[in-house]
Amino acid sequence: MIILSIDTSCDETSVAITDGRKVLSNVIYSQVLIHKKWGGVVPSLAKRAHEEKIDFVVEEVLKKFSMKGIDYIAVTQGPGLAVALEVGIKKAKELAKQYHKKLISVNHLEGHIYSAFVQNSQGNPKHGFNFPYLVLIVSGGHTSLVIFKDHLKYEVIGETIDDAAGEALDKAAKLLGLGYPGGPVIERLAKEVNNEDFHHFPRPMLKSNDLNFSFSGLKTSFYYFLKKRPQAYNISTAAVSLGQLASSFQEAVFDTIIKKTEKTIKQTLIKRLIVVGGVSANLYLRKKMRELVKKYQGEVMPPSFKYLTGDNAVMIGVVASYKAERKIFVKDIEKLDRIPRMPLV
Ligand code: KG4
Ligand code: ZN
């Protein structure tokens, strides 16, 4: 089943062609350099860049394929930036109408979950589905614990009640004058001081009985900590302190994530873990996750993470193939609209 998929949910214009779980073609135009100097994604600039690039990205992906060979068109409906989602949806509608294809709408978070099962064109990695899985989504917009029960069936069992983990890292990096996105810079600085915890910032919600997260209190306490010690984080004069601050903040975020995930494993007895979203690119977090599941004879999957971290249309195409198998199509193409705060279930 050959699907052309589009994702313009945030700051990547991405179009892919997939065959079931296999990637046949994948083109991504990243806007990171456009937004970098503003310290975050600027919606009006994102919209303009998507509009400027979408036709080109579709043409690129179709270089070796003809629309005749495409069975369905798929597009991300939400969650994401409204003005960005609109560009992809408009293009998907145009293609569906022009070439008389059925349209499949996909939740971006479902895409992230299925990203763990993407295969290359040779069908590797070979691992199949062995439900249920425990999924940790950690990105700039989401921190959620989800039980992936069966194809297209999910139960959200924990979520952030305020900031997402990536958002917290980005805000801490901004306070330290480290630029955007903050996660990778904090990872590098923390590694330089062996990921040690020097300042013991608070671990929010660890004592609560539920599986929810909260990171805004941590951010506030970090802010007041810095305010009291203006000299401590002068980049040119106190590199070690900067590393210590970054490492301690990262540790507070990751320790919270690990402990909540452990609580979830104990409660659900699900030991197969999928970690997805931008923050899952962090090698130190991945190592901590592997150590955690090892304690319970579990596994973190998959081993490779090309499609796990960044946004891409491949994962949208993979979800769409399972929807197509179940004949879940958009009924009225004209009426399809973006849902910026689309929940997973
Ligand atoms: O999933 P994503 O690309 O975009 C969405 O939010 O949907 O996630 C972006 C987030 C940012 O907050 C960024 O700082 C964080 O992922 N991130 C990282 C790393 N790379 C990206 N956080 C920690 N370590 C990294 N290596
Ligand atoms: Zn995403």
Q: Which of 1-10, 192-201, 307-316 comes out lowest in average pLDDT?
A: 307-316
Residue 187 CA: which ligand 1 atom is closest? 24
As a whole number of angstroms, the distance between CA 103 and CA 106 comes to 10
Instruction: Give just the sign of the alpha carbon dihedral 299, 248, 166, 48.
Output: negative
Task: Give distance in angstroms: CA of 72 to centre of ligand 1.
Answer: 30
HSE-up of 74 (CA within 13 Å, CB side)?
A: 35
Secondary structure (DSSP) of 209-257: SSS-B--HHHHHHHHHHHHH-GGGG-TTT-HHHHHHHHHHHHHHHHHHH
Pairwise pLDDT comparison (274 vs 305), residue with the higher score: 274
Binding-site annotation, residues for Fe cation: 108, 112, 311
Measured between alpha carbons, how far is residue 23 from residues 121, 163, 228, 276, 331 in Å? Answer: 5, 33, 51, 18, 27
Is the pLDDT confidence value at 252 over 70?
yes
- Rounded to an integer, the average pLDDT of 159-182 is 92
- Alpha carbon of 77 to those of 87, 106, 123, 298: distances in Å? 11, 6, 27, 34
Ligand 1 nearest-atom number relative to CA 141:
6
pLDDT of residue 54: 98
Q: C-alpha dihedral over 225, 182, 135, 125, to 10 degrees? A: -150
Residue nearest atom 13 in ligand 1 by C-alpha distance: 183
Query: So what's the pLDDT on residue 49?
Result: 94
- Average pLDDT, stretch 256-273? 96
* Rg, C-alpha atoms of the chain: 20
- Which domains does the chain carry? 2-125+307-335 (3.30.420.40), 133-302 (3.30.420.40)
Known binding residues for substrate: 137-141, 170, 183, 187, 282
Ligand 1 centroid, distance to 96 Cα (angstroms): 32
- pLDDT of 206 reads 82
Ligand 2 geometric centre to CA of 227 (Å): 33
pLDDT at 240: 45
CA of 107, nearest ligand number: 2
pLDDT > 80? residue 236: no
Asked whether 170 lines ligand 1 (CB < 6 A), one says yes
* Residue 185 confidence class, pLDDT cut points 50, 70, 90: very high
Q: Is the CB of 166 under 6 A from ligand 1?
A: yes
pLDDT tens-digit map of 78-120: 999 999 999 999 999 999 999 999 999 999 999 999 999 999 9
